[in-house]
Amino acid sequence: MSDYKLNPHYASEDVKKEPIRTGFGRGLKIAGKDDENIVALCADLTESTQMHMFRDEFPERFVEVGVAEQNLVTVASGMARAGKIPFTSSYAAFSPGRNWEQIRTTICLNDMPVKIVGSHAGVSVGPDGATHQMLEDLALMRVLPNMVVVVPGDSIEAEKATIAIAENGKPSYIRLAREKTPIFSTEGSPFEIGKAYVLRTGSDITLAGTGLMTHQLLLLARMLEDSGVNAEVLHVPTIKPLDEEAILESVKKTGRVVTAEEAQIAGGFGGAVAELLSEKCPAPLHRIGMKDRFGESGDPQELLEHFGLTAETMLPHVQQFIDKVPQYKPGY
């Protein structure tokens, strides 16, 4: 049994749903109350990114920079040099999509505790289409030295993650989703940067998810149970630093891994796990996510199904993977 406190209604049809970005908005307001050095900067998307909650509470600590993402993060770098803890927000496609070099040089190499908040990530952005559905942000941020990369699984965790990165003193990226998504954690669930959590114990396969995909893996585990497969579900809300110990411990037990993310599997979470396994525990791996292609317009649920990112659409692929691939035994 896992001691992680799951929302008891996580598998119910009427599970409470809320956008992950809303949890960020709440978290930033709480962090702002605790530390007056926290400032917020936005590039003309203050309500979309939910930064308005902070703006309305602390108008004197909010800076509107206009549609200028390069300036957004570099002004923030300067404010950090002057002792502030700046949170910068936009859509992930624009920040860190457009201003990667500025983040690399003036925040990571310069080692400034600027927080990059990328909202509207993944295909679940929906009708806006491929231009706005950021899929490459995990790869872009994960390769930067000094950068911390966090992908909360639901709005409750997003609130905790926001407060945590406000206090970590490091350059940090937090990835948010637009749509309402099911809440699977509880107020009492733990969150610590760099930690992965076993949500359900099992012995036949590890299902490792990040962001909103973890909920789909919880549902998938129940479906697999019906066919006699005992799956372990691992929630990995921090992509960097990756909780290698927790992942390896799970994989050594189950001998097979599925990763799931709403991002490009190349360089993303699946990529990170592939790097880890190939060096330290070469168990068979099946990566679920976007496979070298862009999204497109559509209803969010329709798109998640189309791209095989729901429990139902993952099931046949995961079942086939289990049927074909034997469990890895350490010492082969």
Partner 1 sequence: MSGQLTITQLQQKANDIRKDIINSLEAAGSGHSAGPLGMADLLTTLYLDIMNIRPHQPNWSERDYFFLSNGHCAPVQYAAMAEAGYFDKSELKTLRKFGSRLQGHPERTALPGLENTSGPLGSGLSQAAGVAYTLQYLDKQLHRFVYAATGDGELNEGNIWEAAMFAGKYKLSQLVVFIDRNNIQIDGSTEDVMPLEDLRGKWESFGWHVQEIDGHNVESIQDAASMARAITNKPSVVITHTIPGKGVDFMEYDYKWHGTPPNREQAKAALRKLRTLNGKIVGGNE
Q: 20 near 152, Cβ under 8 Å?
A: yes
Edge-to-edge order in the sheet of strand 197-200: 197-200, 231-235, 205-209, 257-264, 285-290
Contacts of 36 (CB under 8 A, 6+ apart): 61
- 33 touching partner 1, by CB under 8 A: no
Q: Which stretch binds partner 1 (CB under 8 A): 99-107, 155-163, 244-252, 264-272?
A: 99-107
60 vs 292, beta carbon nearer partner 1: 60
Q: For the chain, what percentages of helix, strand and coil (3-state, to nearest 5) are there?
A: 40, 20, 40
- 79 touching partner 1, by CB under 8 A: yes
CB of 229 to partner 1, least distance (A): 49
- 109 touching partner 1, by CB under 8 A: yes
CB of 119 to partner 1, least distance (A): 20
**Amino acid letter at 316?**
P
Query: How far apart (Å, rounded) are the C-alpha atoms in residues 9 and 179?
Result: 19
- 196 touching partner 1, by CB under 8 A: no
Q: Which pairing describes strands 172-175 and 148-150: parallel, antiparallel, or unpaired?
A: parallel
86 vs 202, beta carbon nearer partner 1: 86
Query: How far apart (Å, rounded) are the C-alpha atoms in residues 325 and 183?
Result: 32
CB of 51 to partner 1, least distance (A): 17
Number of residues counted as binding partner 1 (CB under 8 A)? 28
Query: How far apart (Å, rounded) are the C-alpha atoms in residues 273 and 287?
Result: 9
78 vs 241, beta carbon nearer partner 1: 78
- 105 touching partner 1, by CB under 8 A: yes
Contacts of 45 (CB under 8 A, 6+ apart): 51, 89, 90, 91, 119
CB of 40 to partner 1, least distance (A): 12
Query: How far apart (Å, rounded) are the C-alpha atoms in residues 114 and 203?
Result: 41
- Give the one residue of 51, 80, 246, 277 binding partner 1; rule: CB under 8 A: 80
CB of 210 to partner 1, least distance (A): 30
> Mind telling me the catalytic residues?
69
By CB under 8 A, what part of segment 39-78 binds partner 1? 39, 60-61, 63, 65-66, 68, 70-71, 74-78
146 vs 319, beta carbon nearer partner 1: 146
Q: Which residues pair with 18 in a beta bridge?
A: 181
Residues that bind partner 1 (CB under 8 A): 39, 60-61, 63, 65-66, 68, 70-71, 74-84, 86, 101-102, 105-106, 109-111
